[in-house]
Amino acid sequence: MIKKRINAAFLCLCMGCTLFSGCEKTPEEAIVREKGTDSLKKYESGENSKNSLAESLGAPEHYKKESIYEDGRLIVDTDADIFIPDANSVNTYTVSAKEVNQELIDTVTKAFFEGDKIYQGYSYHVWSKEDLQKQITMLKRYKSEGNLDPYEHGTDENGNPQYDIDEQIARYEEELKTAPEKREKEEVTPALNLEYWNGKGAERVRDVDVDHFSGVAETENGIYDYTIDYVLKPDIVFTITKNKEDLLPDPMEFSDWTEGEFVLEQKESENYIPQESIEEMLQISYEDAEKIAKEKIEKLGLDLSISHWDYSIFCHGDQGATKEGMLDAGYEFQFARCLEGVPVTYELSFGGGLEDMDSTLEPWGYERCSIIVGDDGIQKMTLINPYDIGGIQTENVKLMDFDSIVKIYEQMMEVSNADIVNYEAKRTYHIRNIKFGYTRIYDPAADNDTGLLVPVWDFFGGFDSEMSEEDGGYTRQDSGERSSQSFMTINAIDGSVIDRSLGY
């Protein structure tokens, strides 16, 4: 199984000190090759006389080594199982952003809401008189109990409350005068650039939801919010989320789903939730949840298969996920491509980042598809940037051996973390899984909606960190056992380091 978390941009350059405790000397020049257009070149084909990828790469089943740097203030503890797919060779494939048209939208809609009525979201979510009166009553109850900051907005720099409960009550009471008796339902066919009613009362006008759709589907299994966002082209995001207001003590309170790895690993954190607590809340088996997820995703026709799963927890409260705030739980499945037996590796980063805030590029994120299944069916589905897979660019591409890749990994873990000791008293990385699979790279300066699927090595784990007493003495512990964050992604063909957050 695979894991998660977004990696920071690598710093890669300079150094000049020596490694300690018998470690290798710091490289005098960067191992990493130039990226950009050159990274999308046609690679060289090779000959594979071995029976499997693992054999031809010379990779063991497990790799263990501890490297100590900066007088012990930076430690890279690698004690990792190695995952290599059961294949004989690997190719590179051209890939492009799937055309966003009504056919794609209809396919997603039909997969999840065939036969269901879908309504325009903006008018549907306008509160009725009954909705507003409930909220006014709730705020007045908070006030009578002495809770003047129910949503924990805190105070400003002068100590004044950021949230004025009396002002909010007055605002709701004013809205109550013109609120509709019941929620307005305008049935629509999901599409981009639909008209909708904007504003309230006499000031209400017809407007266009440019490159966006917001809808609500009423189904036998509950009510779902359905949004499509194409504002940041070429990125397209489909999101389907089950309405769970019936579970919330206050619909205005923050609530969201959180992946299991973020609550199960850090036992000293206030966000820690024991696995037993999650499993006690689940009233559906993994097998039944997996079947539901597969049946839905197969209808998309994108040839996706499960690449990773984890628990997911629905919590309320401004402190994020907590045991006390847990209201529901489910299984979260990540789906990805698998080409000739080699999968696209799931990693937390969405890709499509920018190198700096002044960039004028239009980035393109990774294809991602996740679905959460709980006791009462689908809880949430996200589909981002579906690909069109082109042809093979380089067949049986020539790969670097595992020993060469590990050498780059160990040297670049030091180089990329060179400034950590300026901010932390100590950091210890725990690399627990090393995986071989595909990722997509592209050159946004040349073309922001085409790229290449290339084989890469990912080094997954977590880290412990300690801050000095002067900086607050904060400590963080994460063993990395469940992690889906790759702290190093290396192109298996040429050894270049790929920044997961950028996508190249």
**pLDDT tens sequence across 170-214:** 999 999 998 999 988 999 999 999 998 887 766 778 899 999 999
pLDDT of residue 474: 75
Handedness of CA 31, 32, 34, 40 (dihedral sign): positive
Name the CA dihedral angle for 165, 171, 176, 182, rounded to a multiple of 10 degrees.
-80
Please report, rounded to a whole number, the percentage of residues in the chain having pLDDT higher than 70.
Answer: 90
- Is pLDDT above 70 for 439? yes
**For residues 130-150, average pLDDT:** 94
Residue 25 pLDDT class (50, 70, 90 cuts): very low
Picking from 69-83, 94-108, 227-241, 470-484, which range would have the lowest pLDDT averaged per residue? 470-484
Q: Are the CB atoms for 415 and 12 separated by under 8 Å?
A: yes
pLDDT of residue 471: 65
pTM, entire model:
0.89
**For residues 475-499, average pLDDT:** 94
**For residues 143-160, average pLDDT:** 90
Can you read off the two tokens belonging to residue 360?
């004028």
d(CA 144, CA 154): 19
pLDDT of residue 201: 67
Picking from 385-394, 450-459, 471-480, which range would have the lowest pLDDT averaged per residue? 471-480
pLDDT of residue 473: 67
- Is pLDDT above 60 for 1? no
Contacts 24+ apart (CB under 8 A), 419-424: 419/11, 420/73, 420/74, 421/70, 421/73, 421/74, 423/467, 423/471, 424/73, 424/465, 424/466, 424/467, 424/468
Question: CB burial class (10 A; 0-12, 13-18, 19+) of residue 21?
Answer: exposed
Distances in whole angstroms, Cα of residue 13 to Cα of each of 25, 120, 320, 411, 423? 15, 52, 37, 11, 19
- Is pLDDT above 80 for 283? yes
- Is pLDDT above 70 for 227? yes
**For residues 19-38, average pLDDT:** 41
Q: Which of 247, 275, 279 lies closest to 263, judged by CA?
A: 275
- Is pLDDT above 70 for 139? yes
pLDDT of residue 293: 98
Which residues are bridge partners to 388 per DSSP? 96
pLDDT of residue 163: 94
Give the contacts of 203 (CB within 8 A, at least 6 positions apart): none
Output the average pLDDT for the chain: 89
Domain boundaries in the chain? Answer: 4-96+390-491, 127-182
d(CA 377, CA 382): 15
Residue 16 pLDDT class (50, 70, 90 cuts): very low
**For residues 234-243, average pLDDT:** 98
Picking from 197-211, 358-372, 437-451, which range would have the lowest pLDDT averaged per residue? 197-211
Residue 270 pLDDT class (50, 70, 90 cuts): confident
pLDDT of residue 39: 57
